[in-house]
Amino acid sequence: MSGEHETSGEEVLHEREELAQAEHAIAESSPSVGAVRAAEALADVEPVPGVAKLDPILVADNVSRHFGGVRAVEVDHLEVQRGTITALIGPNGAGKSTFFNLVTGFDQPDSGSWSFDGTDITGTSAYRIARLGMVRTFQLTKALMRLTTLENVMLGATAQRGERMLVAPLRMVWKRQERDIEQRSDELLERFRLSHMRDEYAGTMSGGQRKLLEMARALMVNPSMVMLDEPMAGVNPALTQSLLGHIQALRDEGMTIVLVEHDMDVIMSISDWIVCFAEGKVIAEGRPSDIRTNRAVIDAYLGARRALPDRADTPKPVTEDET
Amino acid sequence: MDFLAILTNALRGALGPEAAIYALAAVGLNVHFGYTGLLNFGQVGFMLVGAYGTAISVLSFELPLGVGVLVGIACAVVLALILGIPTLRLRGDYLAIATIAAAEVLRYLYRSEWAEPLTGGVFGLKQFADGFFELNPFTGALDLGPFDFSARALWLMVVAWSAALLAAGFVGLLVHSPWGRVLRSVREDELAARSLGKNVFAYKMQSLVLGGVFGAIAGSLLAVNSQSLNPDSFMPIITFYLWTIMILGGASRVMGPILGSVVFWFLLTFLDSFLRQAIGAGLIPSSVLAPSDIGAVRFAAVGLGLMLLMIFRPAGLIGNQKELRLDVR
C-alpha cells in the first residue's frame, strides 16, 4: 500500500511539472485556431444586448422566471454563437444560474421559448436536452460518490444498449459496446489526468479533481455544446490553468462552451464573447474589450477599479504569484 | 439446559421457509433502497397484494396456483405504478410517505367487510395451495440426527430458497450491467444522472416494479407456506424486519439480504429457545421474565444487536465499509 503511495507521489510531481509546462505553453502561444475562428465569426457583431449572431447554436426568446415577486430571469433575446467560448457574468442573484437551469430543462420558465441547433426545445425534459447534445455541469459538483471514477465517466456514454432493463442481463448483447465505452473513458481520464483515480470511488476525490471528473463525464455524452456552471469555483490556481487549457482545447475542436464564472481574469482571458446579466436581464454583451469599458457593466458588477484601458497593462492579482 | 436443542432450533429457524421468504422480500427492498435509493417503507404492501392475488385467483376464480402467482405479480406491478407515477418525480421522502400509508390502507381494505366476499375479511382465506403440495417430489421426511424436516417443509424450503437465490442472482446480473450503473447513479445524484441524458423517472419506476415483484412472490410463498391468509399478518412491522434484514446483511450487496435473513432468523429463534430453556431450568426467575414475554424480549434483543452493529459495522455484515465512510452528500 505504501509503495503505491510513493509511486503515485512521484507521478503527481511529474504531472505538476508537465502541467506547469502546459500552462507556460498556453500563456506564450499565439491565439489558437479556435480563438481565431471565433474572433472572425464575431467580428462584425455589434456589442449590444440581444444582438443576432451569424450562426447561433442556442437562441432564447422572452424567457422569464419569477420566484414569488422576485424577477429571477427576464431575457428578451439571446443568441450564442457556435464554436465560441461565451461567458455569462453578473453579480450574485443576477439570474445566470437560473437561466442555465431553464435552458437545460432543469427548471420550468413562466414564459418563453428557446431552441438548440435549430430544434425547438422549449419545455423539453432535461435528459432529452442532454441527449440532443447540450450538456451541463453544476455549480456544486455532483460527483457520483459511490461509483468509481471510471464508472462515473462511462455513465456519460449515450445510446448504451445495456442500459435497457430487459437487455441488461444478457451480457453478450452489450459486452462489446461496453468495452468501447471503457476505452473512450480511459482516453478521457488520461486527457484530464485522472487515470490514477480510475478505480477509486469518486467520493475520495478532491474538489478540483471532481471538477475535472465532471467535465470528463460531460464530454462522454459527445455534446456539441457544454454549459459549465462555475467550473473554476474552489479550484486552486494551477488547476484553474489546466481547466482553462481544457476548455480552450474543446473550443478549438469546434465545441461551443457557455460558462458562468466570477473570476474576471479567467473570463477576460478565455472568453470570445461575454454576456452580462443584472437583475435577470441581459444588460450588455460583447467581446472582452467591449465589456471592459462598458459603463453598464462597470456600474453593475466590475467596479471602477477594473475599468482600465487594456489587459496588457492590467496586473493579474491572483495568478501572478503562482507562475 | 439442552444446548443442542437450542442450536438445532436456531438453525431450523435460519434455514426454514420463513427465512427464505423474508430474504426474497428483502432482495426486492435492496433493489429499491440499496441500488436506487428509493425509500420504500411499504414492502409488506407488495407482499399483501401478491399473497391475495394468488389466493383469490385460486379460490374465487378457480385458476391454477401458478396462474395465481402471476396474478399476484401483476397486482404488484399495478401497485408500483400507482405509487410511483405521482411520487417518483418528487423528492425521495414522498415515496416513503406514500408507501407506508398505502401498505396500511391496503391492509384495511382487504380486511374490510366490503371486500369480504373476495378476501374473507378478518377471517381470511384458507386452503388454496393444495396444488403446490401435490407437486411435492419429496415422499418422506428428512432425518439428519438432531435435524429433521417434514416432506412438506422440505419442499417449501427448496422452492423458497431457490426463489430467493434466483432473485439475488438476477439482481446481481442486473446491477453489474450498464442498467445497474444508471440505477446506482440515480441513487447517488438524480440531477447528475439527468444531466447525462438518463431518464431518471423511468429507471426509478423500473426499480420500484422489480423490487415490488420480488415482494409479491415472497407474499405468495408466505401464503402458500401457511395455507392460510389473514390481512393482519401483513402488519407494517414486517417492512421494518425487512429493513433490518437488509441492513444487517449489507445494503447494496447482492447476497446481503440472503445472509441478513439467515442471521436475523437464527438470532430470533436462538433467543426464543434460549430464553424458554432458561426459564424452564429456573435460571431466570419467572418474576423477572414470564414465558409470555419472550416474544417481545427477543425483538428487544435483536434491536440492541442492530444498534451495536450500526456502531461497529455500519455497512452490515458483508457491506463495503469503505463505501460507507465516503461522505455522501
Residue A21 lies in a domain: no
Residue A286 lies in a domain: yes
Which residues in chain A touch residue B326, judged by CB atoms under 8 angstroms apart? 145-146, 201, 203-204
Q: Provide the CATH number for the domain around residue A272.
A: 3.40.50.300
Residue A5 lies in a domain: no
pLDDT at A318: 47
Same-domain pairing of A169 and A191 = yes
Residue A9 lies in a domain: no
Residue A247 lies in a domain: yes
Which residues in chain B touch residue A127, judged by CB atoms under 8 angstroms apart? 194, 196-200
Residue A19 lies in a domain: no
Could you tell me which chain A residue has the CA closest to the CA of B169? Answer: A169
Residue A2 lies in a domain: no
Rg (CA), chain A: 20
323 residues of chain A, pLDDT tens digit each: 444 444 566 766 776 676 666 666 655 566 778 888 888 888 888 888 888 888 899 999 999 999 888 888 999 999 999 999 999 988 888 888 899 899 999 999 999 999 999 899 998 999 999 999 999 999 888 888 899 999 999 999 988 989 999 999 898 899 999 999 999 999 999 988 899 999 999 988 888 889 889 999 999 999 999 999 988 887 888 888 888 888 999 999 999 999 998 888 888 888 999 999 888 889 889 888 888 888 888 777 655 455 444 444 444 444 444 43
Same-domain pairing of A257 and A195 = no
Identify which has the larger pLDDT, B208 or A51: B208
Burial class (CB within 10 angstroms; exposed 0-12, middle 13-18, buried 19+) of A315: exposed
φ/ψ bin of A304: left (φ > 0), alpha (ψ from -120 to 50), beta (otherwise): alpha
Average pLDDT over residues B200-208: 95
Nearby residues of B87 by Cβ (< 8 Å), 6 or more positions away: B94, B95, B98
Number of domains comprising chain A: 2
CB-CB neighbours of A293 under 10 Å: 14
Could you tell me which chain B residue has the CA closest to the CA of A164? Answer: B179
Same-domain pairing of A82 and A191 = no
Same-domain pairing of A109 and A233 = yes
**Which one of B88, B191, B195 makes the best mutation probe of the A interface by having the most chain A beta carbons within 10 Å?**
B195
User: Chain-wide mean pLDDT for chain B?
Assistant: 89
pLDDT at A25: 63
pLDDT at A302: 57
Same-domain pairing of A108 and A130 = yes
Average pLDDT over residues B70-74: 96
**Cβ contact, residue pair B170, A204, below 8 Å:** no
When CB atoms are compared, the residue of B193, B199, B327 closest to A203 is B327
**Cβ contact, residue pair A144, B189, below 8 Å:** yes
Could you tell me which chain A residue has the CA closest to the CA of B194? Answer: A127
Distance from CA of B201 to the nearest CA of A (A): 10
Same-domain pairing of A48 and A117 = yes
Q: Domains plus CATH for chain B? A: 3-325 (1.10.3470)
CB-CB neighbours of B284 under 10 Å: 16
Same-domain pairing of A136 and A262 = yes
3-state secondary structure of B228: strand
**Cβ contact, residue pair A130, B326, below 8 Å:** no
Sign of the C-alpha dihedral, residues A126, A128, A129, A135?
positive
Same-domain pairing of A291 and A155 = no
Structural domain of A104: 31-143+224-322
Model confidence at B182, pLDDT cuts 50, 70, 90, reads very high
pLDDT at B325: 67
Residue A232 lies in a domain: yes
